[in-house]
């Protein structure tokens, strides 16, 4: 048996070498399928994880932004795109008149510049520790103390480790912590307290005029947590009706989650449909290419039969070739898929406007092995019919058809 397996492998390798272009086509088809299967699975799972992370992290029932700036808060939450916008100075006073509010947490945004004044362009988010209920729980797990003036915590995708110095508007600040990955725009943001944000805005006045420099109490958004039993949709509508024309706009946070969930379902169906079509295409193309390859080798197979090779041995030879070709294609496809996912995550978030959170390493390895196994099975299944048909040919017919 060991001699038979060795002979089958040797014949398969020789066949691959003698027909490089056909073998290349087979490898490419399997590569394309394994690439799409792995990348598509990781994409769907990452978007699902990102949506779940956003639903868990976005604990505000209502978000208050300047009228007309709701797309900007959308960009900040999803991609961390640097933005500057501010609410009217009396916003908190106006909001305090509404019943049903349990807590209000103001936040101040400041976008840094791509210039020598700053280490890199990023969204700075100033939080109020006394009232914050969104970012503070993350900081408690990371820092375990109040964020002091001149200190900052970086998001997962921002360069900097605890103890490093980062310069914004010519002012050096100290990194005291790093947040875990969330799959949201917060991964590309930097968190400070609001007094530090106001100080940086004054430093920015040397380069560009900034409204926050004149009034350090300005806020960009207010996160609102309602009392139990209050309807966030109805509250947001009441606020918009009462504050219409005052430059204040209320968003209910479930709008983002619901919108993302609907988009996720659409993307998932598109990915599944594309993978099914690609699987059928791979199955048909591999079967045709192997049928052509084995048809060209009828004489060779007839000679082997005449020398005493069994039909089972001929089938093993053909399937060994299919296995080797599929193995090469599957390995390359999964490797390219991993590279594409690693490099394309931020672009997916920007293009689809959805949070993107890669699964843990064990899950990625499982998906990679699953994609490779599915590709191997597809290649072997497609080649099996042609191998059995060729092996069943009579010796005289195989010799005559050569």
pLDDT higher than threshold 80 for residue 367 = yes
pLDDT at res. 196: 92
- CB atoms under 10 Å from CB of 400, counted, come to 11
pLDDT higher than threshold 70 for residue 397 = no
pLDDT tens string 145-157: 788 899 998 888 8
pLDDT tens string 269-291: 887 888 888 788 877 887 787 77
pLDDT at res. 1: 40
Q: Where are the domains of the chain?
A: 2-54+260-401, 59-252
Could you tell me the pLDDT band of residue 366, with boundaries at 50, 70 and 90? Answer: very high
Over the chain, what HEC string results?
A: CHHHHHHHHHHHHHHHHHCHHHHHHHHHHHHHHHHHHHHHHHHHHHHHHHHHHHHHHCCCCEEEEECCCHHHHHHHHHHCCCCCCCCCCCHHHHHCCCCCEEEEEEEEEEECCCCCCCCCCCEEEEECCCCCCCCHHHHHHHCCCCCCCCEEEECCCCCCCCCCEEEECCEEEEEEEECCCCCCHHHHEEEEEHHHHHHHHHHHCCCCCCHHHHCCCCCCEEEEEECCCCCHHHHHHHHHHHCCCCCEEEEECHHHHHHHHHHHHHHHHHHHHHHHHHHHHHHHHHHHHHHHHHHHCHHHHHHHHHCCCCHHHHHHHHHHHHHHHHHHHHHHHHHHHHHHHHHHHHHHHHHHCCCCCCCCHHHHHHHHHHHHHHHHHHHHHHHHHHHHHHHHCCHHHHHHHC
pLDDT tens string 284-316: 887 787 777 666 666 666 656 555 656 667 677
Least confident span in 75-79, 136-140, 253-257, 269-273: 253-257
Q: Which bin fits 325, alpha (ψ -120 to 50), beta or left (φ > 0)?
A: alpha
pLDDT at res. 4: 42
Residue 173 pairs with which residues in a beta bridge?
A: 166
Average model confidence (pLDDT) across the chain: 78
Can you tell me the mean pLDDT for 342-358?
70
pLDDT at res. 334: 92
pLDDT tens string 190-241: 999 999 998 988 888 777 777 888 888 899 989 888 888 888 888 888 898 8
Can you tell me the mean pLDDT for 57-86?
76
Identify whether the C-beta of residue 222 lies closer than 8 Å to the C-beta of residue 93. no
Q: 110 or 206: whose pLDDT is higher?
A: 110
Q: Which bin fits 147, alpha (ψ -120 to 50), beta or left (φ > 0)?
A: beta
Contacts of 29 (CB under 8 A, 6+ apart): 281, 282, 285, 286, 289, 329
């Amino acid at each position: 048996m060991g001699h038979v397996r060795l002979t089958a492998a040797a014949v398969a390798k020789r066949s691959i070498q003698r027909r490089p272009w056909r073998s290349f086509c087979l490898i490419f088809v399997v590569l394309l399928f394994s690439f799409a299967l792995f990348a598509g699975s990781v994409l769907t799972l990452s978007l699902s994880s990102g949506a779940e992370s956003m639903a868990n992290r976005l604990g505000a029932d209502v978000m208050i932004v300047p009228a007309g700036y709701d797309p900007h808060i959308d960009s900040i939450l999803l991609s961390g795109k640097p933005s500057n916008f501010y609410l009217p100075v009396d916003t908190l006073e106006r909001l305090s008149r509404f019943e049903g509010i349990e807590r209000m947490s103001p936040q101040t945004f400041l976008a840094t510049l791509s210039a020598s004044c700053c280490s890199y362009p990023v969204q700075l988010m100033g939080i109020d520790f006394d009232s914050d209920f969104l970012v503070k729980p993350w900081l408690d797990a990371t820092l375990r103390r109040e964020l002091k003036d001149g200190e900052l915590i970086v998001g997962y995708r921002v360069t900097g480790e605890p103890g490093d110095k980062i310069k914004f508007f010519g002012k050096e600040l100290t990194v005291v912590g790093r947040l875990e990955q969330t799959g949201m725009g917060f991964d590309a943001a930097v968190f400070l307290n609001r007094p530090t944000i106001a100080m940086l805005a004054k430093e920015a006045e040397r380069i560009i005029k900034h409204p926050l420099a004149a009034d350090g109490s300005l806020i960009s958004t207010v996160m609102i947590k309602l009392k139990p039993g209050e309807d966030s949709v109805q509250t947001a509508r009441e606020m918009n009706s009462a504050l219409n024309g005052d430059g204040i706009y209320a968003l209910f946070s479930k709008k983002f989650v619901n919108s993302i969930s609907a988009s996720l379902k659409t993307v998932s169906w598109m990915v599944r449909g594309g993978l099914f079509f690609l699987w059928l295409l791979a199955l048909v193309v591999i079967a045709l290419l192997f049928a052509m390859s084995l048809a060209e080798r009828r004489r060779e197979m007839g000679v082997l039969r005449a020398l005493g090779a069994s039909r089972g041995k001929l089938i093993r030879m053909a399937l060994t070739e299919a296995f080797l070709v599929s193995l090469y294609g599957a390995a390359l496809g999964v490797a390219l898929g991993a590279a594409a996912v690693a490099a394309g995550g931020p672009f997916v978030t920007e293009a689809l406007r959805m949070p993107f959170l890669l699964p843990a390493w064990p899950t990625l390895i499982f998906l990679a092995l699953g994609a490779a196994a599915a590709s191997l099975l597809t290649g072997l299944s497609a080649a099996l019919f042609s191998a059995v048909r060729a092996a069943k040919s009579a010796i005289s017919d195989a010799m005559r058809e050569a």
